[in-house]
Structures are given as structure tokens and as C-alpha cells.
Structure 1
Amino acid sequence: MKFYEGEIMMLVRGRVDKYDRETSQHIVAYLDILGIAARMKHGYEEQKLAMNKLHNLYTHSMDKRTAMDGYSEIQFKIFSDNIIIVKKLSEQPEKRLLDIRALLFCVSNFQCLAVKDSVGWLVRGGISIGELYIDETMVWGEALLKAYDLESNVAIYPRILLDSDLLSHIGSDEELSEFVRQDFDNLCFLNYLHIQHFGGQFLKSGFQMMLDELNGRYTERIYQKLCWHMNYVNRELDKKNERKDREYRLHLE
């Protein structure tokens, strides 16, 4: 290792690495698709179907038809049943809010697609703001750790929790506030159905897919997750004045 005027450089097999990588402010979503690990243990055809569904979730979440300012700069990392969705934040306050909106819309789109009838999967996660470095090889930084902690230790239900730094950025912004819902335990989560209208039929079909896959065999913990999802969907559909479509409300025996 060599040092030149405050710089750190490493010579490896004739190549010089300047050690010039730095973290910067990002908004990061860490997501876990519930039940994927079990699906990987199924037969080849079931594994293949799950893998292709997951890849299509990425493809359609980044569909150019939903493009907005900064959407193309969002980065995905998928490994097994875990997904990282990242957007670098501008230093300009107004542009930063647009960056946050783009990421929240992208994650909402991903979660909407997951729970509807084309897939039928529940998603849990966390979204945070903080320092991060990301390239083709590695992801590093406190923002990822915070998002991971929300997903693995706090969220419990199929909800994507929002950290305090993100909530302080959203503040009283009317448009961004629509992405926020406060739960029974006072934690704030992503209101992904904010971007969905007249989707009761698709949501009900997706819920039925979940129940069919379980075939009546679920633990109390799984039952609680299904109930949380059912109550959230029914509540949001009511708020959207979709009461005329009562036949599409979710039900769990």
C-alpha cells in the first residue's frame, strides 16, 4: 500500500487502485418477499416459475411507461428473496424530493405488482435515507443497514416501514405524504396502494392465489400476516370510494 499527499493507493498485480470510492446520500429500500425460500425447495418447475416471476417484477417495476424524472437512475440488486432498490439523492432540496418520490413510486409499483393476480406474493421491508456506496460489485453503508434492520427486526407484517430520516424529508409535502400511513403501533409504512385505483378485482385474485398456495396449511404467524394484508387492502379500497365494488373485498375464513 502506498501513500501520496493524503491519498491511499494499492498496487495489486500491476494495477493501481486509488481508493477513491466514497459514500453519498441515498434513499434505499430493502425488501424481502415472504415465502420465496420455501418455494426454492420445491420442484424444478415451481422454482423456475418463482424465479421468472421475480425477474418480471423487476422488469415491470422499471417499465418506461411509468417513467418520471430520475426513474431511470434507480438501481436494483436482487439476491435470492431479497431486493435492494436504490436512488442517489440530489443536494438540491427540490430535486431531492423528486428523487424520493421516484423511489417511493418504484417500490409501490413493485409491491402492487407482487400482491396482485399476476404474482400473488407478500412483501416486507424498510426504506431509509443515509450514506451509501453502490456499484456493480458491492453495496456498502449505513442506509442499507437501517433499511435491513427495519425489514428483519421491526416490520413483522407485510409492510414496508419508513425510517425517521425519510419521514423528516417528507414532512408536510402534500404529494409525498400520500405514500405514508401510520399503523396501529404508531410506525409509519409505505402506502403502496396510493398509486393503485380500481384494482379490487386484481387484489382479490392475488389474495386468492396466496390462499390457494397455502391450501389451508398456515401457522398463526402466517395467518397474522394475511390478516394484516387483508385489513390494509380493504381499508384503502374504502378510502378510494370503491365501495360499489364490495364483491372484491378480501375475506379470510
Structure 2
Amino acid sequence: MSSPYIDDSQRPRLRPSIAAFLDVLGFSHYSTVSATLEESQQLLDQIHSAIRDSRAFARQFFVDQAFADPSYWALKFFSDNLVIGFPADEKVVDQTQAALFAVRCMQRYQFYMATTGFFVRGAASIGPLCLTDEIIFGSALVECYRLESKASIVPRVVLTQSLTDLVMDALKNEKLDPRETGQLICRDVDDWWFVNYLHATVTPQGVDWKLIEKHKDSVIAYLAKTKTHDVLPKFGWACRYHNVFCHWHRNDPNYSDAYRIDRSDEDSTIDLLGEI
């Protein structure tokens, strides 16, 4: 498969890009506690399947867009980390459109990973990046790594201010539906904007509540199996976010309180971009 970061002479190419640095919560822990080679192989098969299916889930929604061509964006997995690059050269593509596409892909990728039991945290930025099989380089990645280490303590993908500004600019575009762009990102209680990944369940007919139920089951299952105290607050946040999303869509067709996780979080100060 051709790489968007390799030029015609087969040299690595640094390009302005939307970059994301993602960390699969608990993956490194599971890989070290697997008692046998067979158990480790099972974990490897699970994460490989989750990444493959999550990437396919992200792509299938955008089959009519040029961005959806898998040769246009790059992905690299190492240890429990994942780096995604979407080239966004201003002379080649509209950076706002590239930002919207990247956020939507991250939404769907993060959501599907969660439903397979692998919750993701991380950060996304815009800046120079080169991402090939042999090298990962660029200030966009460094910025993502620093932000992920600083702000992504819970399973959310936070955005740098420059990328947030691009998404906000989409609300000013009269050709785009503000009801859609206004749902892409949320602002948390600590003022960080993050990818509203549960929005991946929204269809033209409303929320697919079966998918929300899968997310609920995944959160509860993760809480039930965790044996480390520091993980519990992270999934307390996941419960809160899940319930806030349900509260936002409580008037959608087929909503039921049964889709909530049994907590009281409706008054949480997570704000949708479109409601600021």
C-alpha cells in the first residue's frame, strides 16, 4: 500500500497533518501479566482484530469521500500506542474539511475500539508530521505526546487549541450542517475539548441505541475485571460521559433510561460545541 508520507523518489516526506497519538488503556498491563505464550497470542489476536475492525468501521462511513482512500492516511501501532496521520497540506486540501474528517474518523475508531473492550485515550493536533513504516517524526507528534501525558488521564482524545479552532471554524461555514459539526467535540469540566466519540452512534434516524448498549456493557465489563485501583476513576469518567450523552439524546426515538449506567451525571458540565 502506498504511503502519503513517501514521495515519488521513495524518500520520507514531512507534511502538514492532523496527527493523533493514542494509548490503549491497560494494554501494556495485560501483555505483561499473560501467563503463557498462548495467552499472549490470544491478546495479540484480540488487539489486531480490534484495530483492523475499528479502522474498517471508520472507513466505511466515508466511502464517498476522497479522504477515505486508505492510501491517504497512515496508521502505526507500537507497544500500547497508536499514531494516526492525516495529511492536511493547505494547498492540496481544505484544512477545515481535513480536520472534520480526522475527528469523525477518530470518533468511529475510538468508539469501535471501546465496544471491543479496548478503551483509548490520547491527543490530536495539527502540524508537521512524517509517518512511515520506518520512521515517525514531526512536531505534531511531540505536541500530541505532551498533551496526552498532561491531559488525557481518562479515556478521551483531547484536541490542541489549533485543531479545536479548525473544528470551530466549521460552525461558521454555511455549507455545513451546524447540528452535525456542533456534535463533534465536547468541552470537559477542566476546559479541555475532546472527541465526542459516542456521536459515532448517531444516524439520520437518531441514536443507534443498540450500539450505546454495547458501550455500556463494555464499560461495566472493564470495571468488573479491573484489579488496579488507579483505573477506577478513569472508568468513573467513562460512566459519566456515557450518561451525559444519553441525557443529551433523551428525546430521541426509542430512548430508555435502561441505556444509562446507574449513576447520576446529567448535571455534569460537559458541553457540546454547538451549545457554547
- TM-score by structure 1 length? 0.82
- Secondary structure, in 3 states, of the residue corresponding to 2:255? helix
Query: What's the offset of the Cα at 1:109?
Result: 1.3
SS in 2 for 1:171: helix
Work out the number of aligned pairs and report it: 230
Q: For the structure 1 residues 55 and 23, does the alpha-carbon distance in structure 2 shift closer, same or farther, using more than 3 Å as the test?
A: same
User: Does the aligned pair in 1 maintain the 2:25–2:120 contact within 8 Å?
Assistant: yes
Q: Is the 8 A contact 2:121 2:153 kept in 1?
A: yes
Measured in 2, the distance between the counterparts of 1:187 and 1:65 equals 29
Q: Distance in 1 between matches of 2:93 and 2:73?
A: 18
* CA displacement at 1:132 relative to structure 2: 1.1
Letter in 2 for 1:188: W
Give the drift of 1:161: 0.5
Q: Which residue of the other structure, out of 235, 239, 242, is the alignment partner of 1:230?
A: 239
CA-to-aligned-CA distance 1:81-107 (integer Å, 9 cap, x gap)? 100111000315973223222221221
Change (3 A) 1:103 1:56: farther
SS, match of residue 126 in structure 1: strand
Match status 1:192 vs 2:197? yes
Change (3 A) 1:135 1:98: same
Q: Distance in 2 between matches of 1:246 and 1:112?
A: 21
Q: Which moved more, 1:241-250 or 1:175-184?
A: 241-250
Question: What do the CA deviations read for 1:181-201 (whole angstroms, capped 9, x no partner)?
Answer: 001011111111112132221
The within-5 A match list for 1:62-77 is 62-63=55-56, 64-68=59-63, 69=65, 70-72=67-69, 73-77=72-76
C-alpha distance 57-104 of structure 1, shift in aligned 2 (>3 A): farther
Query: Which structure has the greater CA radius of gyration?
Result: 1
Deviation (angstroms), 1:124: 0.8
Q: 1:218 to 1:185 in 2, by over 3 A?
A: same
Cα separation, partners in 2 of 1:237 and 1:46, compared to 1, 3 Å: farther
**Backbone CA RMSD of aligned residues:** 2.3
Residues 19-34 of structure 1: pairs in structure 2 closer than 5 A: 21-34=12-25
Counterpart in the other structure of 2:31 = 40
Which 4+ stretches in 1 moved above 4 angstroms?
18-22
State the alpha-carbon separation in 2 of the partners of residues 223 and 250 from structure 1: 15
TM-score normalised by structure 2 residue count: 0.76
Q: Give the whole-Å Cα distance in 1 for the aligned partners of 2:77 and 2:126.
A: 20
Kindly indicate whether residue 116 of structure 2 is the aligned counterpart of residue 125 of structure 1: no
Structure 1 residue 135, shift from structure 2 partner: 2.3
Within a 5 Å distance, the mapping from 1:66-215 to structure 2 comes to 66-68=61-63, 69=65, 70-72=67-69, 73-92=72-91, 95-116=94-115, 119-173=116-170, 174=178, 175-196=180-201, 197=207, 198=209, 199-214=211-226
Query: What residue ranges of structure 2 are gaps of 5+ in the alignment?
Result: 1-8, 171-177, 202-206, 264-276
**Cα separation, partners in 2 of 1:19 and 1:114, compared to 1, 3 Å:** closer
Could you tell me whether the CA contact under 8 Å between 2:122 and 2:157 is conserved in 1? Answer: yes
Give the percent of matched residue pairs that are identical in Structure 1 and Structure 2.
24
1: distance between equivalents of 2:247 and 2:38? 38
Deviates most, 135-144 or 200-209: 200-209
Matches of 1:190 and 1:75 in 2, distance apart? 19
Q: CA–CA distance in 1 between the matches of 2:249 and 2:169?
A: 21
Per-residue deviation at 1:54?
1.9
